[in-house]
Amino acid sequence: MALKLFSYADKRPAMSIMAADLGLSPSEVHGALQRLRSATLIHGPEMRGRPNVPAIEEFLLHGVKYAFPAQHGPLARGVPTSYAAPPLNAKIVPGSEPVPVWPWPEGDTRGVGLKPLYKTVPLAASRDSGLYELLALLDAVRDGRARERHAAEGELIKRIRSKHGKSQS
C-alpha cells in the first residue's frame, strides 16, 4: 500500500479506486492506511495522508526484511521478482539457478517461488509497471545477496525520492 501511494502524486484517489488498483477490498485499503498512519509511515489529514518519505525509506531499508521475511517455496510458474525483474535484470545477470518468482498461474517464468508481501501483489504488479518495479526492488532488499541488496536499495530510494521529493517529513 505504501509503495502504491507513490504512484498517485499529490492527490490520492478514493479507496474504491485504490482497492481496484491493488486487487483489494475497500476495507482492506482502509485498514492498511490506518496501519500506515499508526506507524507514522504516512501523514495525517493535515498533510492529506501523504507518505512520510524518510520514515518509509528507513522501514524499507532496515525493517521490511524483519517484518516480512522472505519465504521460499518450490519451483513454480509465476512473475519474476527481485534481481530477475526490472530494473535489476538489466544490471544483474542471473546464474544457472532458477530465478525468484511470485507464484501466479498467469505468470510466464518458471523459478523458485518467493511468497509476495501480499497475495494480490502479482495482480497489482500486472496493472502498474512502476509498482511492479518497486515491489521487485523491495524483494531484492528482503531476499537478495549483498550485491543485489545494495543495488536495490539505491534504486528504491532514488525512485521514491523522485516521486515525492527528498525532504518530506
Q: What is the pLDDT of residue 148?
A: 93
Q: What is the pLDDT of residue 168?
A: 44
Give this prediction's pTM: 0.91
Residue of 148, 124, 127 lying closest to 138 (CA atoms) = 148
Sort 14 into a burial class: Cβ within 10 Å, 0-12 / 13-18 / 19+. Answer: exposed
Instruction: Report how far residue 25's alpha carbon sits from residue 157's, in angstroms, rounded to the nearest whole number.
Output: 29
Q: Which residues contact 71 (CB under 8 A, 6 or more apart)?
A: 114, 115
Q: What is the pLDDT of residue 7?
A: 84
pLDDT tens string, the chain, 169 residues long: the values are: 999 998 887 788 899 999 999 999 999 999 999 999 999 999 987 777 789 999 999 999 999 999 999 999 999 999 999 999 999 999 988 888 999 999 999 999 999 999 999 999 999 999 999 999 999 999 999 998 999 999 999 999 999 988 765 444 4
Q: What is the pLDDT of residue 84?
A: 96
SS (H, E, C) 104-135: CCCCCEEEEEECCCCCCHHHHHHHCHHHHHHH
Which residue's entry shows cell 507518505?
51
3-state secondary structure of 23: coil
Q: What is the pLDDT of residue 165?
A: 57
